[in-house]
Structure 1
Amino acid sequence: MPRVKSDDGTITFFLAFGANRQMCRLTTTFNTQKQAFSYLQKHRTEFERMARTRLASGELEDGIVVLSML
C-alpha cells in the first residue's frame, strides 16, 4: 500500500520482490496527494515495471527508486 509523503503530489510506495521491499518515490505535477495517488493506481503496472528495471540496473538515489510522471 502506498504511503503519502508530506510533499504535495509526491507519493512513496514499496515494490515487493520476494521477501524484500524496495522504497519507490513518484513525483507528479498534481497539486494534491489524492490526485497523485489516483494517478499511481491508474498506472500501477507501468510504474512497477519501470521501478523493477531501475532497481535491476542500480538506478537508485539514496537507496530509493525515483520515478516521475509518464
Structure 2
Amino acid sequence: MRIVPRLKLDGGGTITFFLALGAGRQMCRLATTFETQKQAFSYLHKYRTEFERMARARLDTGELEDGVVVLSML
C-alpha cells in the first residue's frame, strides 16, 4: 500500500491524497496547519508510513466521513 502523489490543497487547510489498495484507490484527507502546499506536501512525505497505517486502520474499522478517510496532523 502506498500514497499516490496526487495532491491538492483545499480551502480549509487540508491535503487530499489517494491511498492505493490493489487496483482501487481510497480518498483520504489530511488536516494541516501549514500555510503553503509545499510545507504540507513535505510533512505528508515525512510521515507517509504513519499516515498509511492510520488510514488503513480507519478504513478497516469503517471510520469514514462521506466515504473519505479523514486524518489530522501527528
TM-score, length of structure 1 as denominator length:
0.91
Instruction: Tell me the distance in 1 between the aligned counterparts of 2:6 and 2:30.
Output: 10
Structure 2 portions without partners, runs of 5+: none
Does the 8 Å contact 2:10/2:16 carry over to 1? Answer: no
Instruction: Tell me the distance in 1 between the aligned counterparts of 2:13 and 2:43.
Output: 10
Q: How does 1:1-70 map to 2 (within 5 A)?
A: 1-7=5-11, 9-70=13-74
Secondary structure of 1:2's aligned partner: strand
Structure 1 portions without partners, runs of 5+: none
Instruction: Tell me the distance in 2 between the aligned counterparts of 1:43 and 1:19.
Output: 24
Does the 8 Å contact 1:9/1:35 carry over to 2? Answer: no
Q: How many residues are aligned here?
A: 70
Secondary structure of 1:11's aligned partner: strand
Q: Percent identity?
A: 74
Instruction: Tell me the distance in 2 between the aligned counterparts of 1:51 and 1:38.
Output: 18
1:8 offset after TM fit, Å? 5.6
* C-alpha RMSD of matched pairs (Å): 1.2
Pick the structure with more strand per residue: 2
Instruction: Tell me the distance in 1 between the aligned counterparts of 2:31 and 2:42.
Output: 13
